[in-house]
Amino acid sequence: MLFKFKSQAAADVIMLQQTAEELLKIIGKPASATGIVTVAQVPGAVAALRQEIERREALGQGQAAATEAEQVVAADFLSAEPISLRQRATPFIELLEISAAAGKDVVWGV
């Protein structure tokens, strides 16, 4: 399943379910079929994501373990290195920041 994060201020961000659920958990949101990150919630969400990224990188865990599906896809590429949390979260963080600056909420599943 895919999650599509939308805002009236920026392009959609589409993620695989596992990645979206991980990011939503970090920001304290349920990984339900629909949801919203309000403008007021963005600073806390961005701070939580950045803190977790820094924590994992400090522990040497910046890269998430590749799922079976990712391993199959990665086999088609020259480099099969797992994608770090920083790489996975950056488009979402950018969406949150652009949306908040424009005074728009970020929603999914609607």
Measured CA distances, 35 to 7, 30, 69 (Å): 12, 8, 26
Place of tokens 């998430």: 64
Strands 106-108 and 35-37, by their bridges, are antiparallel
Yes or no: say if 29 and 37 are a contact pair by the CB < 8 Å rule.
yes
Give me 17's structure tokens.
Answer: 């379910």
pLDDT per residue as tens, the chain (110 positions): 899 999 999 999 999 999 999 999 999 999 999 999 999 999 999 999 999 999 999 988 655 554 555 555 555 555 567 889 999 999 999 999 999 999 999 999 98
Cβ atoms 36, 44 nearer than 8 A:
no
